[in-house]
A = this chain, B = another copy of it.
């Protein structure tokens, strides 16, 4: 995944025509488009082939099964043309390893969820977040997912994973996170959903966020 605009679209829509229209509009402004199961179950895995012409696709499937099933899922996602898969780390080192090994063979990326931003993430996940970040680093995953809504956690996770792994951060825009704050905390890519796909002008909205990112990087350098 090339680091140009440092913006990723979270394409949380269910209709394939709408997905294509929005992806076409933001092409060039985003480094990747993140799709989830709701869209893929509604449109079939073939939707990935249709979207990949506009940007690399990250399948946000929060893969959380035994090693063999994880591998079978990632295989199909990569075969469909996706560049990366988001997996849960909670299921342990061997489940993660099955995904990372396959990604390495295919020259693709695995991003590991370290922490989520909904209230229930405090029940069991938050405590495990640092251990999962360390596991992602030990397994040489491509990167981790950490919330833009909590820049202090992004900084902590950066200290755990070092500079080799990337951080991608959802929660910018409608969820209250700021692209500038996340970038300053050490995020490599910010992930924006509603502020782009619900905008009357997704390209303009994306360009605005990219300008904000470029400005904060310039000002801090």
Contacts from A to B (Cβ < 8 Å) = 12, 14, 36-38, 40-42, 44-45, 61-62, 64-67, 69, 72-73, 76-77, 88-96, 116-125, 128, 131-132, 135
Contact = CB atoms under 8 A, between A and B. Distances in A.
A121 B91 contact: yes
6 contacts: A36-B65, A44-B44, A90-B124, A90-B128, A91-B116, A91-B124
A88 B123 CA distance: 13
Contact of A76 (B41, B64, B128): B41
A60 B42 CA distance: 17
Nearest to A67: B118
Contact of A123 (B44, B73, B92, B124): B92
A125 B92 contact: yes
Contacts of A125: 90-92
Q: Which of A12, A41, A72 has the most CB of B within 10 A?
A: A41
Contacts of A92: 118-125
Contact of A120 (B14, B96, B121): B96
Contacts of A124: 89-92, 128, 131-132
A85 B121 CA distance: 21
Contact of A95 (B37, B38, B118, B128): B118
B36 A69 contact: yes
Contacts of A64: 62, 64, 88, 90
Contact of A38 (B12, B69, B88): B69
A164 B89 CA distance: 31
Contacts of A96: 120
Given A40-B41, A93-B123, 7 more contacts: A41-B73, A41-B76, A62-B65, A88-B88, A90-B90, A91-B124, A94-B120
Contacts of A40: 41
Contacts of A38: 69, 72-73, 76
B76 A93 contact: no
A72 B38 CA distance: 6
Contacts of A62: 64-65
Contacts of A123: 92-93, 131, 135
